[in-house]
Structure 1
Amino acid sequence: QYHGFSEFYANEVQITHITLASNNYLYQTVFDGYYVKTFDELSVIGQGGFGIVFRVKHAYDGQVYAVKRIQYKETVKVLREVENLVKVKSEYVVQYYHSWRETRCLYIQMEFCSQNLTNILEVKPHIFERQSGDPMDLYEYFISCDIFQQILECVQYLHELNPQIIHRDLKPDNILIAENIRNGRFVKLCDFGLATVHDKTIHYKSERKHTSDIGDLRYQAPEIGHGKKYGHKSDIYSLALISGEIFDVDVVLIEPKKKLK
């Protein structure tokens, strides 16, 4: 805990005074112990190969945030994520606050969302008293349509930016459900560590095949995994697979001639 406002203010200014316009100043190096003095760690809400995400409470303002802690060896990924989050401040994307380097880790402070799409998909059949694979009733269907529409709007926002951003790691875990609904919106995208800025006049080619640097293989477009040219449609492929989970349909088994017109 801080002994006074002046101590808190001095440390907070040290963190928030960041030149966001420059790639070389996306984070600030702080004194050891800043994290434990500034935040009360409440729980772990996510963990993966690149780091851990904590639910924390700010020691001064009392607000709950999400803080991602990433090992310093993953510098390129975390700086890319910070850079992309700075570029896409919007209701369609989880809100970024600031980032800093402490000891051998990099930290990103973000808006906390208590649920993600994976959580929703796990409980949805039970809420509507339906077995997995059984047809949905109208209530569940229309709610599913609303969820998917909001996901589409989030991705559309990224693809209509100039320059365009391709997420490249769309999956239920990276689609968050916000606690505070604004303008009727409750869906936000997160985890921009694999996102790339895309010039629409160029088709990019993935440098490596089947690596963790190109996202979750279960939702990955084949052209990325095979090292072929790809564009924003790689995100559309991921969306198609996500839609299958939302509507409880195996889209992989749908033959083109059987698709609805």
Structure 2
Amino acid sequence: MYYIRIYVQAQSEKTAARKLLQENNLRLGHFTTSRHGANFVETWVDGMAFSELNREKEEINRLKEEFEKHKKQLLKRKPQVSTAKTKGGKTSNSSEHDHLTTDEFYEMEEILKLRAAAIRKREADVLAELEKLERERTLHIRELKRIHNEDQSRFKDYPILSERYLLLHLIGKGGFSEVHKAMDLRELRHVACKIHQLNRDWKEDKKANYIKHALREYNIHKKLDHIRIIKLYDVFEIDENSFCTVLEYNNGTDLDIHLKQSKYLPEREARSIVIQVVSALRYLNEIKPPIIHYDLKPGNILLGSGVYSGEVKITDFGLSKIMEDSDDSNSDGLELTSQGAGTYWYLPPECFMIGRAPPKISSKVDVWSVGVLLYQCLYGRKPFGHDMSQSAILEQKTILKAVTVDFPSKPAVSSEAKNFVRRCLQYRKEDRPDVLSLCDDPYLRPKKLVNQSSSNVSSISSNSLP
């Protein structure tokens, strides 16, 4: 009975999602396919809401032209100071019938000022509405792709995997995997089922390598138990070309989508996110052997919603490094054998250095990533290589040239936040703090504790011997 209720609810949610999609196709826009020679090309067509806004912008432009015309006409009728004597000895304005009196001019001038203010407000309202619609359109396009991928998935018809996990709907799709929201019928909780699908045409050695990589990620992830890290519950084979990992379900979005919707975040929110991420990194560096995440980026930071709003969890340990034979205090770090992997905007210079031997890395890789994350949250752009492709970053050696970080004048950000970013983005890894040192950074600690520590130091200094 419980299974049937969940199944019916999932069907209802899927129907509602498609109904909303159709409504948004009309309101926000949709893709159309047209033929160009031998190829079919998808073109985006804006919906009615954008058409209405465009008409409103045209009307505002017409009003602005009218306003400028009236303004010029009023200036031509401005009262004249110079006067000329008539034959009868009286003074008279040279264009008496064209010019206004001082009172009339002032009255019309005030009317035009009010009209200009009304036009500016109307224009600001349109721009605000356009920004809102563009954010909605971004989510709509994402939902269009999600539903298209869901309709193409072989797991779309609510299968039960491993006699336990009822798949409800597709969350997202990657290169060789897709993630479904599911119900664990044994534990009666929602989970995320990540289904890895190997290409049937792959050679056996490529399949073996993919499985080896996925199992390595599973073996790292399954041992982790921290409130700021997504839990991994289970792994099982579906058939000879696919298997599934079962993860903790996060009923929210990720930081990447949040930033695309918000552009940038208030410093208080950005700082809270970083505090939580660093808490997870502390755990990864205190366990034995320590772990470097190596792929910290907005897409791998999940945000809570509802009663969990404000909370974050990190995920995706596919590129993680285990520091088995290395101790930050006694060595230069771990040899980077997978040079070229990762998301370049978030990796430090040492990951791009080429020499006779592979570069050495440590937890300071993740510290650099934290600095990039905070900068991006505060300013809505990456500090290095923003709007550049990964290949361009590599070709132009962008990160290798990232010696200093520049801060935009807006939005306003505290000097403490800027200094924290500078500490994280020290070019030489020897000058950059490791994760455990970063945990004690004054910017991440409660202000009361920082002030208390400062007062204690002052007290000790005042009581010391001369």
TM-score, normalized by length of structure 2? 0.41
**1:94: how far off?**
0.5
1:187 corresponds to 2:325: no
Q: Map 1:1-261 onto structure 2 (within 5 A).
A: 35=161, 37-59=163-185, 61-71=187-197, 73=207, 74-103=210-239, 104-113=241-250, 114-125=252-263, 140-179=266-305, 186-198=311-323, 199-200=326-327, 201-202=330-331, 203-210=333-340, 214-226=341-353, 227-248=358-379, 250-252=382-384, 255=404, 260=419
Q: Deviations over 1:28-65 (max 9, x none)?
A: xxxxx761853333333233234222212234554221
SS in structure 2 at match of 1:155: helix
> Structure 1 residues 49, 216: CA separation in 2 closer, same or farther (over 3 Å shift)?
farther
CA radius of gyration, larger in: 2
Aligned-partner Cα distance in 2 for 1:225–1:255: 17
Letter in 2 for 1:224: C
Distance in 1 between the 2:406 and 2:190 partners?
Answer: 49
Amino acid at match of 1:100: F
**Which amino acid in the other structure matches residue 105 of structure 1?**
S
Q: Matched residue pairs, number?
A: 216
Bigger proportion of residues as helix: 2
Residue deviations 1:88-130 (CA, integer Å, cap 9, x gap): 11212101111111212121111111321112212234xxxxx
One-letter amino acid of the counterpart of residue 169, structure 1: D
Contact 1:51–1:70 (Cα < 8 Å) also in 2: yes
SS across alignment from 1:109: strand
Shift in alpha-carbon separation, 1:172–1:96, aligned structure 2, 3 A: same
- CA RMSD, aligned part only? 3.1
Q: Which structure ranks higher in relative contact order (CA pairs < 8 Å, sequence separation ≥ 6)?
A: 1
Q: Distance in 1 between matches of 2:253 and 2:292?
A: 23
SS of 2:419's partner is: coil
Q: Single out whichever of 56-65 and 145-154 deviates more from structure 2.
A: 56-65
User: Secondary structure in 2 aligned to 1:251?
Assistant: coil
Distance 1:50 1:77 in 2: 13
Whole-Å separation in 1 of the counterparts to 2:2 and 2:213: 32
Instruction: Measure the CA separation in 2 of the matches of 1:115 and 1:62.
Output: 22
Alignment gaps of 5+ in structure 1: 4-32, 126-131
Same amino acid, percent of matched pairs: 24
Conserved? CA contact 2:335–2:361, under 8 Å: yes
Instruction: Considering fraction of residues, name the structure with more strand.
Output: 1
Residues 90 and 208 (structure 1 numbering): CA distance in 2 closer, same or farther, change over 3 Å? closer
CA distance in 2, matches of 1:119, 1:256: 25
Code of the residue aligned with 1:123 in structure 2: it is Q
Distance (Å, rounded) in 2 between the aligned partners of 1:147 and 1:46: 23
Specify every segment of 5 or more residues in structure 2 that has no aligned partner in the other structure, as ranges.
Answer: 4-158, 199-206, 385-401, 408-417, 421-466
